Amino acid sequence: MNNQQNINVSLDQTDAVVCEKCEGEIWTPAFMIRKVSALLSPTGRDTMLPVQIFVCSKCGHVNEDMRPS
């Protein structure tokens, strides 16, 4: 989810990302943990894979477009 690049724009040239549920605009980084089966893991053992997401600070909702596919 980290497609961040250095872009030189001012904030007034951007749009706020708002929560689909409560319209909050403040986000907290969080992690979903996915289990990778031993059959797919490079170590041959079950592995935990952290996936960073952003959670609305006001209500705890994760926007649909912020969920990993």
Any idea which residue has 């040239």 for tokens? 13
pLDDT band at 4 (very low <50, low <70, confident <90, very high): low
Question: Is 2 a domain residue?
Answer: no
Distance separating alpha carbons of residues 62 and 53, to the nearest angstrom: 8
Domain annotation covers residue 37? yes
Q: How many domains does the chain have?
A: 1
Question: Looking at residue 51, what is its pLDDT?
Answer: 96
Residues 20-25, mean pLDDT to the nearest whole number: 98
Q: Which two tokens stand for residue 12?
A: 């007034």
Asked whether residue 1 is assigned to any structural domain, the reply reads: no
Q: What whole-number percentage of the chain has pLDDT above 70? A: 94
Residue 57 has pLDDT above 60, yes or no: yes
Cα gap 19→64, rounded to integer Å:
10
The answer to whether residue 56 sits within a structural domain is: yes
**pTM here?**
0.75
Residue 40 pLDDT: 95
> Residue 57 sits in which domain range?
11-66
Predicted confidence at residue 27, as pLDDT, reads: 98
